[in-house]
Structure 1
Amino acid sequence: KLADYEACIVRDKNGKEIFYFGSNKDQRSFFLPPHSQMVSLLWSRGRRRERRDLRITKIDLRPMYMSFEFNCRTNDNVELVLEGSFFWEVVDLPAMMKFTNDTTGDICNHARSRFIELVSQVTLQEFMTQFNKIAQRVHEQDESNFYTQRGVKIHSLEVTGYHCAEASTAAILEQIIQETTNRMNRLQQQESENEVQLREIRGDIEEEKARGELIKIQTDNSNAVSKMEGMAEAERVKSFLDHLSKDIPDLSMKEKISMWNTLRKEDALKAVSKGNAKLFFTPRDVNLSIENHDHSREGSWVDGAENSN
């Protein structure tokens, strides 16, 4: 009896191969016809597929993982041991039986040939940074119909690890990896510091923009206040001159302005007198004049001093 995901092959007395699938209800359970036998497949096993002793009579048609390991050399003659895995499944059982009697061995051998071809084109340094892309090219850029012809489908192929075959080269590789890791850590640290500095600079820029907007608003407000004060002062001057012209029409404009300036000086003196400030006037500001009188008669005083003549 077969499970839904299983299949088997029966060879009849004439040597014809008959395929039974568990997904088909009519073929799930059957009796072996006379002079017929179950076909056993002999597949390779192990990570390097070095032993071909895996005997299979019921074939699992579900997608499955298969690990691999093989050696290859880079362009600068460094021998590497690659480790990885396939995710694959059998999709055409008759085609598989027609073209291969060792499905797992053929899959791994073909992948090894592809890896050897592509790895030989790059140096060790390039391989260390591109091994995932190389594995992708091994699978996706395979223009042959090798897998289709054998009735299998490779869903994915990936390299899970690698190391140098020689111990001395492995030590050098470890140093390279360690230095690469340290460089990446330093770069990441520098990027973090640069990001912090960039945020600080952006913060300073935003602060200066806000300060500029504040200064502009303050300037506009100050200009508006000054304009209002000027208009109020002009209105007072105009009102003063108009009333003065009505009350005393004979005054000239110069006399009117002089009277206004006198009143403004009085306002200034009142404002100063309310505080502790000191105000100094020049003789011109207070219309102060000093006269010198010379008396020639005897016994008189000249400029406050006794005449000795």
Structure 2
Amino acid sequence: MLAGIHAQLAPPRGDSYLDEGKRRLIRIFAMTTAAFIFTAPVVALEWGRPSGVSEHTSLIVAIVLGTMVQAIAVPAFYIPAISSLIYNKVVEMDMLVVISITAAYVYSIVAASLVFSGIELETKPFFETSTLLISLVLFGRLLAAWARKRAVKAVSLKSLQALTAMLLDQGTGAVVEIDARLLQYGDTIAILPHSQIVTDADVLEGTSEVDESMLTGESLPVFKTAGSPIVSGTVNGGGRLTARVSRLPGKNTITDIANLVEQAQSSRPRVQDLADKIAGYFIPV
């Protein structure tokens, strides 16, 4: 019944945290670019309006573009700030930004309406304030997202997981390269010189020095012989080792550390809690 069916392994999963960082960077880049594109004409008309452009025309352009920038701020600032206030009863830093841009935008809308009605105001509309503030804060977040993505990529632990393993056939002694996900407990694998160790195992034969700096930070290699444990992600030295698999890929030391790192990165740092607490005192002022 299974004749003609060709099964194959699914492609290996990527680093979910790294992928999320890429998506976040692209999303913030798109919002920042759009915000600056809409902000530039508003600032240009306010700081150096051409002689042929009337005040009413300048205000109409500022209202349209300022509203578009304000729309960009809704998912970036308004929704997170209001959601945090309603569900978590916490006033975050985003709320300070929301209050600032809302006050500037609402005043500018009201002032523009009065100008169109022929009422002279001492303080004229300043749409450039809200648009420029939104653009600059988004630009700061873009830089932070870019720096965070580079840092995560540099220390991505799951990238240390080798994708293939050298399986040793006990009957013939032949070495066959297989997908690391096909390994089973007790399989015998060959660790070739200067290759990455695919998963946690115990050395059966051979001697070599293994670079464990990714795990311990120690720059000097560690001597391994029969009976010594070896850890996934570390790099073998100049000797050849034969080892028995003790933990499977996906459930080895690399996975344990990566899961701990992801849990730590997904939790709120104490500094952020302190900043939000301080922001709660500033808002009434």
Q: TM-score, normalised by structure 2?
A: 0.20
Select the structure of larger CA radius of gyration: 1
Structure with higher helix content = 2
Q: TM-score, normalised by structure 1?
A: 0.19
By relative contact order (CA 8 Å, sep 6+), the higher-ranking structure is 2
Structure with higher strand content = 1
